[in-house]
């Protein structure tokens, strides 16, 4: 494909493709942010329609925190792209050079840190859902719990590497090493928990018809329940991004900006089902008959 007739001088087709991928990634993240905004609004609306004494303030705080971090991340990313393509577009080497040389500027670090904090919240919620759906089997949750701690530790190391005097970029040697470690642990954790939750719901699907009517059990064991409760969206998106990042293909630039928003969409979707009373709860686990009824479980709970 020939270069556009008014392409910037001194930039190859690959340079232009990388620049397009960076810009397109931000545009897709804007769409994802809009989806997250809509789900957040609907979830909070449902929570606040409950009697005041039954409003789960912990979950309300979680949803608000997730949306706040998503907003900070998106705003910082948008500002950094404004600097890249408008404010400092005449830097020698073009926007690609600016992205590499000024990646550690405060506005971009703010955005990156917000998305890292979102990943902690998202992984933590999924680990909690896994533990709940498997009847609080803490032995089963021990290994994913260690992976979660490893992901948190590697994300902190990644932030330090990006801000260090030696790397100062997302593509420095140490940054790449910690990035692969961080996303490998986080995404592997999500895949394990996703498969574990989906497997549990599938097993319940086969047996609940004996104890629950089909209409009542379908809301807990449908295909959509499997996909939402297991946060399959983030696990799938993250896996594709990790492959592209490890292979250093420009497609990573399209997938990375929306990744932060996607990791917010998945857990807020789960809490949207919680607000609807359709998500798995302690009483759901007890009603399946697959584990002993949990002590103190009376009626349907939101948490």
pLDDT at position 21 = 92
pLDDT at position 4 = 60
49-75 pLDDT per residue, tens: 989 888 899 999 999 999 999 999 999
Number of domains observed in the structure of the chain: 1
167-219 pLDDT per residue, tens: 656 767 677 888 889 989 998 998 898 888 878 877 776 666 555 554 444 54
pLDDT at position 76 = 95
Q: Report yes or no on 171 lying in a domain.
A: yes
Mean residue pLDDT across the chain = 81
pLDDT at position 262 = 92
User: What is the arithmetic mean of pLDDT over 147-166?
Assistant: 88
Q: Report yes or no on 300 lying in a domain.
A: no
Domain that holds residue 167: 13-288
Q: Return the structure tokens found at 26.
A: 């931000």
Q: In whole angstroms, how far apart are CA 129 and each of 79, 90, 185, 207, 301?
A: 35, 49, 18, 20, 14
pLDDT at position 293 = 37
Residue 301 banded pLDDT, cuts 50, 70, 90: very low
229 versus 233: the higher-pLDDT residue is: 233
Q: Report yes or no on 27 lying in a domain.
A: yes
Residue 292 banded pLDDT, cuts 50, 70, 90: very low
Q: Return the structure tokens found at 253.
A: 């630039």
Q: Report yes or no on 5 lying in a domain.
A: no
Q: Return the structure tokens found at 96.
A: 């690609």
Residue 103 banded pLDDT, cuts 50, 70, 90: confident
Q: Report yes or no on 7 lying in a domain.
A: no
CA angle 190, 193, 196 (to 5 degrees): 145
pLDDT at position 206 = 64
Q: Report yes or no on 261 lying in a domain.
A: yes
User: Does residue 106 have a pLDDT over 50?
Assistant: yes
255-281 pLDDT per residue, tens: 999 999 999 998 898 888 888 876 555
Whole-number Å distance between alpha carbons of 47 and 62: 12
Q: Report yes or no on 299 lying in a domain.
A: no
In angstroms and rounded to an integer, the radius of gyration of the C-alpha atoms of the chain is: 22
Task: Return the CATH number at 158.
Answer: 1.20.1070
Q: Report yes or no on 303 lying in a domain.
A: no
């Amino acid at each position: 494909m020939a270069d556009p007739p008014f392409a910037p001088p001194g930039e190859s087709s690959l340079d232009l493709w990388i620049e397009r991928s960076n810009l397109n990634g931000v545009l897709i993240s804007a769409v994802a942010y809009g989806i997250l905004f809509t789900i957040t609004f609907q979830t909070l609306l449902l929570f606040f329609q409950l009697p005041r004494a039954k409003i789960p303030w912990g979950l309300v705080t979680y949803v608000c925190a997730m949306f706040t971090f998503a907003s900070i991340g998106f705003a910082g990313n948008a500002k950094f792209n404004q600097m890249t393509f408008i404010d400092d577009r005449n830097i020698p080497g073009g926007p690609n050079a600016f992205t590499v040389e000024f990646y550690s500027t405060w506005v971009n670090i703010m955005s990156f840190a917000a998305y890292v904090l979102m990943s902690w919240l998202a992984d933590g919620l999924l680990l909690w859902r896994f533990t709940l759906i498997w009847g609080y089997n803490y032995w089963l949750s021990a290994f994913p719990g260690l992976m979660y701690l490893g992901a948190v530790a590697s994300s902190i190391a990644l932030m330090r590497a990006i801000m260090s005097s030696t790397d100062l970029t997302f593509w420095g040697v140490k940054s790449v090493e910690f990035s692969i470690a961080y996303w490998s642990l986080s995404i592997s954790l999500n895949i394990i928990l996703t498969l574990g939750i989906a497997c549990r719901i599938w097993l319940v699907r086969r047996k609940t018809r004996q104890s629950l009517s089909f209409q009542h059990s379908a809301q807990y064991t449908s295909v959509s329940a499997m996909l939402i409760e297991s946060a399959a969206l983030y696990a799938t998106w993250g896996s594709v991004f990790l492959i592209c990042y490890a292979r250093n293909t420009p497609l990573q630039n399209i997938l990375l900006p929306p990744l932060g928003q996607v990791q917010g969409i998945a857990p807020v979707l789960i809490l949207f089902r919680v607000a609807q009373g359709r998500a798995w709860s302690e009483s759901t686990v007890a009603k399946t008959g697959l584990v002993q009824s949990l002590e103190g479980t009376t009626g349907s709970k939101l948490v």
